[in-house]
Amino acid sequence: MVAVLGSFFTAVEVARLAAGYPGAVLGVPAVIFAFTVSRRPGGEPVPQKVMAAAALSFLAGASVWLGSQMAVHPVIGGAVFVVLMAGSIWTRRFGAAVTRLGALVPLALIAALLSAGSGTGHMAWWPVCGWMALVGFSAFVWVRVVRRVAEKLTGLPGSPPGQAPAKRSAQRAGLSPRTRMALQMAVALTSAFSLGHLMFGEHWQWCVISAMVVSLGPVGRGDLALKGVERGLGAMAGTLVAALIAAVAEPHGTTSIVLIFVVLAVASTLRAYNYACYAAGITTALSLFYGYFGQSPQHLLLIRLQALVLGAVLAVVVGWFLVPVRTGDAVRARLGATLAALTSVLDARRDGASTAKALAAFDAAAANLNASTRSHRLYRTATRRLGTAHRITPADAGEALLATRGPVHALAASEPGPCERATAETVRLLRRAVSAPADPLPELPEPAPTAPLADLDAALRQFAAALPSLSRRRPPEVAGSGEALQPPVSAA
């Protein structure tokens, strides 16, 4: 939030003193740039940092031009928008460096949407384009400087950890997951552009923002449906909160600015626990921003809410029926990534190296896996309440593997021991089983006799018991009472 505040006030001063524009023209995009860049993984080499800074500056400037095109030539501008967004997803197959650069594209496109809808899309694009490029560079610098200072002062990682790519498993026949997600994004955005213009007139951009946000993060139909529901509920809650704040606080006063950044800080904190609360916070902050600069009258809140809900519905419908990514496939891929991260933790302990980065990467992989199993948890809760049986699913395997998080952290705080080689061999066998779940699982090494390694081995055996759910064979049924999966390891 320090970086976001610094970026915001820098942009407002540039707009007021140098460019002669209203503060909203540069201030709102500056907040978006800094807030989103701060969530990107750090630790890349210096050349990649320089390339990312240059790319963000270029994309920030280009967002003004694209916003002007969408305001004047909506069909051409919208087509360019769709191609850029879908292309940034499709190109992720070309490695981590391309993925990092592609992750900057949504920032510029959201800025272009806000530019098209705030009136700046009708301004002469060249002067604003140059100033916006400077604001993008300023946001990048603020995030990196604040992150570096925080690391020096606290000794803790100042950025979300990156993940080492897991080894690719055998691909199913047909389109790759990245191609499927890119195609879904293209269709969802095209629908959002079309219906947004038809139903909401000059406020169409909110429908597109919602469709893009809902389609961008989830992997798998279950996760997509949940995120769409959470986005809709969050938008409604955020609209209500913004209306209540506007009723008791002066929209153009200092109190409103303070509340905006308090809401952003709370939303960022709650993202790890509940996406609906995060969506509510972002919707509230954007509404307050435009209210502060006189661009969001209260009577537009209902229109904005309707557009946000429509965009979320479009994203869910397209992702559910058009070349969908199965939830089981998504969970299987993230199971492999989590096991690979666990291998890195055990390797670091064996080599006598620090486990801080490997442990952070494991936590990030486990968080992704947890997101993919949310829909299964709701399904399992429903079957328990109804007293019916449910089949073991890939998400059951995910739940079992997530139980290793406590033992892994306890192990990282203990001294290395000789029994860890057997645990590392267990993880290797399980990784191979995830790649080929239909093959028989070899007998696992003997578990360690003492905690915390014994707890980790026990959790891994629970995971092994759920491995049959990853194959195409019909998995067994379990009672609706919710007992833990505990068939013998040999049955797996």
- Residue from 15, 178, 191, 41 nearest 103 by CA: 41
Tell me the per-residue pLDDT of 100-143, one tens digit each, with 9 for 90 and over. Answer: 788 888 888 888 887 775 555 455 667 778 888 999 999 999 99
Distance from C-alpha of 129 to C-alpha of 17, rounded to nearest angstrom? 17
Question: What is residue 205's predicted lDDT score, i.e. its pLDDT?
Answer: 84
Tell me the per-residue pLDDT of 12-52, one tens digit each, with 9 for 90 and over. Answer: 888 877 767 766 678 778 888 888 888 776 666 778 788 88
Question: Is the pTM here over 0.85, yes or no?
Answer: no
Buried b (16+ CB within 10 A) or exposed e, 231-240: bbbbbbbbbe
Question: What is residue 222's predicted lDDT score, i.e. its pLDDT?
Answer: 77
**485: phi > 0 → left, psi -120 to 50 → alpha, else beta; which?**
beta
Question: What is residue 342's predicted lDDT score, i.e. its pLDDT?
Answer: 92
CA 20 vs. chain centroid, Å, equals 36
The continuous run of DSSP H or E covering 477 comes out as strand 477-478
Long-range contacts of 252-260 (CB under 8 A, 24+ apart): 252/292, 252/294, 256/288, 256/291, 256/292, 257/292, 259/288, 260/285, 260/288, 260/289, 260/292
Check if the beta carbon of residue 179 is closer than 8 Å to that of residue 86: no
Tell me the per-residue pLDDT of 166-202, one tens digit each, with 9 for 90 and over. Answer: 444 444 456 777 888 899 999 999 999 999 999 988 8
CB atoms inside a 10 Å sphere around CB 17:
8
Tell me the per-residue pLDDT of 217-276, one tens digit each, with 9 for 90 and over. Answer: 767 777 788 888 888 788 778 878 887 887 777 776 677 778 888 888 888 888 877 778
Cis peptide leading into 297, omega within 30 of 0? no
- ∠ CA(185), CA(189), CA(195), 5° rounding? 150
- Residue from 187, 177, 179 nearest 212 by CA: 187
Token pair, residue 53, equals 């800074």
Question: What is residue 185's predicted lDDT score, i.e. its pLDDT?
Answer: 93
DSSP assigned state of 196: H
**At what angle are helices 105-117 and 205-216 packed, to 10 degrees?**
160
- Residue from 447, 445, 444, 487 nearest 468 by CA: 487
Q: What is the 3-state secondary structure (H, E, C) of 423-444?
A: HHHHHHHHHHHHHCCCCCCCCC
Question: What is residue 281's predicted lDDT score, i.e. its pLDDT?
Answer: 87
**pLDDT (average), residues 54-65:** 86
The DSSP-derived string for 97-117 is HHHHHHTTHHHHHHHHHHHHH
Distance from C-alpha of 9 to C-alpha of 392, rounded to nearest angstrom? 53
Distance from C-alpha of 174 to C-alpha of 213, rounded to nearest angstrom? 26
State yes or no: pLDDT of 322 exceeds 80. Answer: yes
**pLDDT (average), residues 87-91:** 89
- Residue found by looking up tokens 């933790």 in the block: 345
Task: Give the CA count within 13 Å in the CB-facing half-sphere of 340.
Answer: 19
Tell me the per-residue pLDDT of 328-351, one tens digit each, with 9 for 90 and over. Answer: 778 888 889 999 999 999 998 888
**pLDDT (average), residues 204-229:** 82
Check if the beta carbon of residue 220 is closer than 8 Å to that of residue 327: yes
Question: What is residue 187's predicted lDDT score, i.e. its pLDDT?
Answer: 95
- Residue from 38, 97, 36, 44 nearest 63 by CA: 36
Query: Please, which residues bridge with residue 478 across strands?
Result: 390
Check if the beta carbon of residue 65 is closer than 8 Å to that of residue 129: yes
Distance from C-alpha of 78 to C-alpha of 70, rounded to nearest angstrom? 6
Check if the beta carbon of residue 434 is closer than 8 Å to that of residue 463: no
Q: Of residues 345 and 283, which shows the higher confidence score?
A: 345
- Look at 21-35, 45-59, 350-364, 423-437 and tell me which has the smallest mean pLDDT: 21-35
Q: Can you give the C-alpha Rg of the chain in angstroms?
A: 24
Check if the beta carbon of residue 319 is closer than 8 Å to that of residue 215: yes
State yes or no: pLDDT of 388 exceeds 90. Answer: no
State yes or no: pLDDT of 418 exceeds 50. Answer: yes
Residue 485 — very low, low, confident or very high, per pLDDT cuts 50/70/90? very low
Any residues with CB less than 8 A from the CB of 270 and at least 6 apart, and which?
277, 278, 281
Residue 364 — very low, low, confident or very high, per pLDDT cuts 50/70/90? confident
State yes or no: pLDDT of 483 exceeds 50. Answer: no
State yes or no: pLDDT of 6 exceeds 80. Answer: yes
Tell me the per-residue pLDDT of 298-314, one tens digit each, with 9 for 90 and over. Answer: 667 778 788 888 998 99
**pLDDT (average), residues 135-156:** 86
Q: How far is CA 276 from CA 235, 270, 279, in A?
A: 8, 9, 5
Any residues with CB less than 8 A from the CB of 378 and at least 6 apart, and which?
226
